[in-house]
Structures are given as C-alpha cells and as structure tokens.
Amino acid sequence: MDRKKEKIARFGIFTKGFVYCLIGALTLTAAISTRGKKTGTGGVLSTIVEQPFGQILLGITAAGLLGYVFWKFYQAIADPEEKGNDLNGLFTRAGYASSGVFYGFLAFTALKMLFFAEEGSGEDNQSFVVSLLSKPHGQILVGIFAVAFLGKAGYQIYIAYSGIFKNRVQAAELDNRVERIIINSGYVGYTARGIVVGIISYLIFHAAFTANSKSAGGTKDAFNFIQNEFGLFVLAVLAVGLFAFGFFLLVKARYRTINI
C-alpha cells in the first residue's frame, strides 16, 4: 500500500510539473511571437484538450492532478514528514491542505471538460472575489484572501533563498553537474512563481480597496499586468522561470524522497 501511495505522489508531482512547463512554454511563445497565448493553470487544460488525442491527455492530466490532491491532503492529515502540531508545523500542514484545495478545483475543472465537454473556466479569481464582495464586510474578506496569496508568494521566495529545497535534491546523490542544473532550476523557478503569485496578491488587494472584482485575477491576469507595466522582455524572463519551476518538479517527481 505504501508503494502505491508513493507512485500516486510521484505521478501527482510530475503532472504539476508538466502543467507549469506548459504554462511557461505558452507564455514564452506569446512574449516572442504572435502564435502563443498567455495562460494560467486553468487555461492549460483547454490547450491540452485541443491537441491530437486531447481527451486522452486531459484524462491523464486529471488523474495526475487528483494524485497530487491526494498527496497534499495526506501530507496535511497524516503528517508523514513529521512537521508536528506546533504553530510552525500546523502552518506548514495548512499550506499543504490549501494547495490540495486549489488543485482539487483544477482537477474538477478537468473532469468537467472531460465528461461534459465544458469549457475550462481557468483559475480566474474574479468569481470568488464577486462572491466575497457580496457578503457582509466583503472588502475585508477579499483583503484576507489577498493576504493569503501574499503569504504564499513570500513562502515561495523563502523556499528559493533559504535553500531548503536543495536538501532533497542533494539526498538523491546525482552527478554534480546534473545536481547544479536542478538546483539552479529550483532557484529560478521558485523565484518566478513567488513574483507571479505576489502580483496576483496585488491584483486582489486592488479589488478589495476598490470593491471591484474585475481588478482581481489569476496567473493570466498577472502576465497581462507584467506585460503592460514592465514589457515583453520581463514577461519572457518570468515565463522561462515558470518553465524552470515545472522542470524542477519533473525531476523532483523522480528523485525526491517520499515519506509515507
């Protein structure tokens, strides 16, 4: 049974890496030519289903996302990595659970597209912000939502520059050159992801202050903001960074130690 859990976890991590590689590749193509399109995790699903054998590919992706959801909730509940029940441990495990919820919604979107031929709604935050703004103290609730994204962005940067991600890479005892490439991919990838999530946080904060849900958005909106404010070159750099993050996850799926 433990071996099955490990395979599910590795398949889930691999699928997440594949999704981020596709996001990076599509966005980089959009930055350097007119043939690509900026997209987020949800928009990737529509791209997958448009390919030859797209339904099969989407089904495999949905299964992988469900595997990732299982792994995140298993980490949060069973605590196989022994994060503990102190404040820091509970915060880390809550992060696992929140990641499981996000990718659970993404897996649900993939399944709807697969079985009901519905268009992917993307991972746009606008509908959720609309719901929050309609409630009492809605702007405060949206602000809290933005703080959660800001915390996630900060954690990505912390992972990059504290170097904590390197431990599992080094434990795999890879060739020095290969190890260096993977670690550099981790630095670049986590930094790029932190920046993009930070911009999403800014957009949600703006929605909270203006009570305008149209200001909020997901990864695609963050890319549009980057292009408008900083230009195509910066967009291309971040796209490469997200591709590097996906590559890092693909390697991580193969070599990281999975505690069950």
In the predicted structure, residue 35 carries a pLDDT above the cut 70? no
With contact defined as beta carbons under 8 Å apart, do 160 and 194 qualify? yes
Q: How far, in whole angstroms, is CA 206 from its chain's centroid?
A: 22
According to the model, what pLDDT value does residue 117 have? 67
Give the list of residues 6+ apart from residue 19 with CB closer than 8 angstroms, or none. 41, 44, 61, 65, 246
Could you give the angle at the alpha carbon of 192 between the alpha carbons of 121 and 178, nearest 5°? 115
Chain mean pLDDT for the chain: 86
Which backbone phi and psi does 39 adopt, to 5 degrees? Answer: -155, 165
Which long-range contacts does 101-104 make (Cβ < 8 Å, 24+ apart)? 103/16, 103/65, 103/68, 103/69, 103/72, 104/69
Phi, psi (degrees; rounded to nearest 5) at 187: -55, -55
- Percentage of the chain lying above the pLDDT 90 cut: 32
Report the C-alpha dihedral over residues 201, 207, 210, 214, rounded to 10 degrees. 140
pLDDT at res. 258: 82
> What confidence tier does 98 reach under pLDDT thresholds 50, 70, 90?
confident
pLDDT tens-digit readout, 239-260: 999 999 999 999 889 888 787 7
Express each pLDDT in 207-242 by its tens digit.
Answer: 888 887 777 778 888 888 999 999 999 999 999 999
Residue 85 has pLDDT above 70, yes or no: yes
Single out the residue of 55, 60, 57 nearest to residue 11, CA to CA.
60
What average pLDDT does this structure show over 13-38? Answer: 87
pLDDT on residue 69: 95
**Closest to 6 (Cα-Cα) out of 108, 58, 75, 77:** 75
**Of 191, 196, 195, 175, nearest to 248 (Cα)?**
191
Q: Which residues of 213-226 are buried (b: 16+ CB within 10 A; e: fewer)?
A: bebbbbbbbbbebb
- The pLDDT score that the predictor gives to residue 125 is 63
Report which of residues 116 and 192 the model is more confident about. Answer: 192
Statement: residue 73 has pLDDT above 90: yes
Residue matched to tokens 């703080």: 147
User: Residue 1: its pLDDT value, please?
Assistant: 57
- pLDDT digits 0-9 by tens, 166-202: 877 766 667 788 888 888 999 999 999 999 999 999 9
Tell me the per-residue pLDDT of 133-148, one tens digit each, with 9 for 90 and over.
788 888 888 888 888 8
Are the C-beta atoms of residues 15 and 27 closer than 8 Å to each other?
no
